[in-house]
Chain A
Amino acid sequence: MVQQTITRTGAPKRGFFRELAHIYRHGDGATKLSFLLMGVGCIRRGQILKGLMYLACQVLFIWYIIEFAWQYLSKLNTLGTTGMQRVWSEERQLFVRTPGDNSLLILLFSVMSLLLLAAFIGLWRASLRSCYKAQVLSQQGKKLPTFAEDLRTLGNERFHMTLLTMPSLMVIAFTVLPTVFMVLLAFTNFDANHQPPGNMFTWVGLENFRNLFGAKPMMGNTFAKVLGWTFIWAVIATFSNYILGMLVAIFINNRGIKLKGMWRTIFVITIAVPQFVSLMLMSQILHEQGPLNSLLMQLGFVEQPVKFLTDITSARITVLVVNLWVGIPYTMLITSGILMNIPKDLYESASIDGASPMRMFFSITLPYMLFVTTPYLITAFVGNINNFNVIFLLTRGGPLVTEYYQAGKTDLLVTWLYRLTVDRQDYSLASTIGIFVFLISAGLSLIVFNLSGSSRREEEFQ
């Protein structure tokens, strides 16, 4: 009940500025002072511990900005002006290296400080809110919640704060911050020639995007070709896996088949074996001197070893076939449950009408499955666009060709991105590609989200 009265302060909850304006208009001296010195209002009403904590946060934040963040934030517009220099030192009689501006740290800590600033503004608003609440309550002559009572709400009314603080911090530190940082890199010239701490990089605007779209023909050409292959790969890989995996599931679910559990387990084993193990194994089996080639030669099928992974066409076919080996059991597992849900009477009436199994598959099974699994299909498509493991562990994107800019004929956008960052340190270009991968994935996922309607049904479940 305490909570009920507290929330009714009269301040509009919606709109950041409207709420603040309301608090400013209706606040008394102490509340108005809280705009500058956080928590003063609370201290004035006797919530001393709470008020002091707000104040401490403010002091800490200002200290952080002055002592640490400002040296980086002030250089954010140029990302550093003085590089590493060799200065003649009189006393030591030799050239001394003086560390210059480190563009990477400037950008990284600036982004971090800006995120902290946003968090601080949120805290500032929360402090004003709580000061204003304290003011309203004391004006109404009601008892203010003590610090212990406030703490107790963390287990109930504000339980979400207790639950979400740690996870949010983790996600912000290891996902949001790095992602924002890398997105910003797409607008810089951070490549192998601009490596901190020795060299600096700086903002270049949309130059990387222009390069990808033809300002540098080789890069633009590579991007178009790799993007094309990524799509071809994703379409073939997704649909071949889907159809064939579903057929296997149908085989196993056939009424006459015994030992269903055994067959399913056989295929599940191949999913369960970690992908890096099974794919490295495959790359060894398919190696030019690998067991498959030596077997084929011994049996007289071929005279020369087949270049499964080193010839352009056969490498592309091989990755698709191996992807089938990896993916079919997976689709089998996913689809067998849905297959069992198809109403049996559909098949019964079809077989009375004399439909062949083939006809039943195309007229009943496939349409039903497509209808139910469209979201899964699109998720799988996005997964295949980002299918790093299969390509990287089998061909490493190769065979490399000179007409491509640091890419091979089986490279997908993500494996190209990986090579550019890890092998070539061409971070700005990699980030630009990453943004495109994001746009494709996000666009497709948006479709899934609308199709599945799980967001709308969320409340109905409960």
Chain B
Amino acid sequence: MKKRTHLLTHTLIPLALAGVLLPITLLLPWLRVVGEEGFVFARTGINLLLFDRGILRMLPLAIGAGVALVLSLTLARPTRMAVRLLVVAFAASLMSGIYLLLSAKPTADASGLLPAPMMVRDLQFGFWLFLVIALAGLALALMTLRQPTTYIILTAMAAIWLLPIFWLLITSFRAESGAYTTYIIPKGWTADNYVRLWTETEQFNFPRWYLNTLVVAIITCILTTTLVLMVSYAFSRLRFPSRRLFMNLGLIVAMFPGFMSMIAVYHILKAVGLAKSLVSLILVYTGGGVLGYTIAKGFFDTIPRSLDEAATIDGATRNTIFWKIILPSSKPIVVYSAITSFIAPWVDFVFVSVIMKDDYANYTVALGLYRMLEREHIYAYFTRFCAGAVMVALPITLLFIKIQKFYVEGVTGGAVKG
């Protein structure tokens, strides 16, 4: 309690300063106007706020006065209630400042007050000072209340991270065609993009690609998971000559950039007559996925050895131990392996493009969507690309959220628990 009162008095002086400065900035120059005769004069905030007589424009003024009012209360008796009021006042000031910033151009241009289209750089230091003081005041007031200012930062960040995805989502329902629009929110809404994506198949056969990817993903998933479990069990539990050699070879080979060997893989597949087929994709993804056995091996390493030993004494072979002891206790890692290997074919577009070349019928969704954004298609297909991206991203996002815990353990090599 003592600490709180201390903080209250500690931040009161800067708070008071902010509260007094806020209304004063309204008298400082806010907007630079270049007249027809070429002379420059500054407009004060009050002038600017009144220039289209809108009621909202009056807000900063009212808030500024309000802040001063609340401030006098605070100075008289520093209570939590008074500081809370201050938070509200500063927050409202900040909001109206931001609103002014974003709406200045349309309003100024519409008012006909300025000879040339307004730019944000025409706003003068009075305005910027207003914004900075409102922000600082809000932060100070929140600190005084010992409220985590983190919420504000987190909200802002969440917005930055979610807005692009949100834009993808709303664009997939946009009725207007074309790639780029000069506005964010679509003028008309439709589910047509989804319908056409699934039904118009002459040029871009999305249903076919989706089915291709699904088939490849399911088979890859089964094969990779089986092979990964086999390899991990062998390396984790069995001791045999040249075990280290094999593990090190796997490590070294995995370090060569994959793009380097793509061309060779293509020729190998061509030599055995599998190029441009879905089977080749399954083989390539499985071959690549097997090298990712280390996470499963790390998991097996943590299963106590004494279990195996007890079973061996009871006469179990290693084959039985694998099926009866190891496999039942490794459900999480089976799920992890299955989901990661299932996701791989959905997100790869490089290997597919090298293997399939121009064989459109055997594309997977990732490559197909990539093609939609090429210069000659983007205008007609952009909204459908968004719809397709949603169709791909949705299931994968759900699956990923399910495995995120293992994902962390895998990446950090099990260093993280909890």
Interface residues of A (CB under 8 A from B): 13, 104-105, 108-109, 155-157, 159-160, 162-164, 166-168, 170-171, 173-179, 181-183, 248, 251-252, 254, 256-257, 263, 265-278, 280-282, 284-285, 287, 289-291, 294-295, 298-303, 325, 329, 333-334, 337-338, 340-341, 372-373, 375-376, 379, 386, 388, 414, 417-418, 421-422, 427, 430-431, 434, 437-438, 441-442, 445, 452, 454, 458, 461-462
Contacts and interface: CB of A to CB of B under 8 A. Distances in A.
Contact of B317 (A156, A274, A441): A156
A267 B401 CA distance: 11
A160 B238 contact: yes
B77 to A, nearest CB: 27
B76 interface: no
A21 B408 CA distance: 51
Interface in B338-368: 343, 346-347, 349-350, 353-354, 366
Contacts of A251: 150, 153-154
A373 B233 CA distance: 27
The 7 closest A-B pairs by CB, nearest first: A174-B287, A178-B261, A300-B105, A178-B264, A272-B400, A434-B260, A337-B416
A191 B260 CA distance: 14
B119 A303 contact: yes
B271 A105 contact: yes
A173 B268 contact: yes
A104 B416 CA distance: 47
Given A179-B261, A274-B396, A301 B319 contact: no
A164 B229 CA distance: 10
A287 B180 contact: yes
Contacts of A272: 393, 396-401, 404
A294 B183 contact: yes
A182 B162 contact: no
A325 to B, nearest CB: 7
Interface stretch (B10-18, B49-57, B297-305): B297-305
Contact of B301 (A105, A256, A267, A461): A461
A274 B346 contact: yes
Nearest to A458: B301
Interface in B104-134: 104-106, 117-120, 122
A325 B392 CA distance: 20
Contact of A462 (B253, B304, B397, B415): B304
Given A155-B317, A257-B148, A163 B231 contact: yes
Contacts of A334: 408, 411-412, 416
A163, A333, A417 — most chain B CB neighbours (10 Å): A163
Contacts of B283: 170, 173-174
Contact of A278 (B164, B249, B350): B164
23 contacts: A105-B271, A166-B230, A167-B230, A170-B227, A171-B253, A171-B290, A175-B287, A177-B268, A179-B261, A272-B397, A273-B165, A274-B347, A277-B392, A285-B164, A298-B182, A337-B408, A373-B415, A376-B412, A379-B411, A386-B257, A421-B260, A438-B256, A438-B257
A218 B271 CA distance: 36
Contacts of B118: 300
B255 A445 contact: yes
B188 interface: no
B119 A300 contact: yes
B191 interface: no
Given A159-B318, A171-B250, A269-B397, A289 B180 contact: yes
A254 B268 contact: no
Contact of A170 (B104, B287, B398): B287
A372 B415 contact: yes
B182 A276 contact: no
Contacts of B268: 108, 173-174, 177-178
Contacts of A329: 161
Given A155-B319, A274-B347, A175 B261 contact: yes
By CB atoms of chain A within 10 A, which of B119, B260, B267, B399 has the most?
B260
A127 B230 CA distance: 26
A156 B323 CA distance: 12
Contacts of A13: 241
B240 interface: yes
A174 B284 contact: yes
Nearest to B297: A458
A430 B183 CA distance: 43
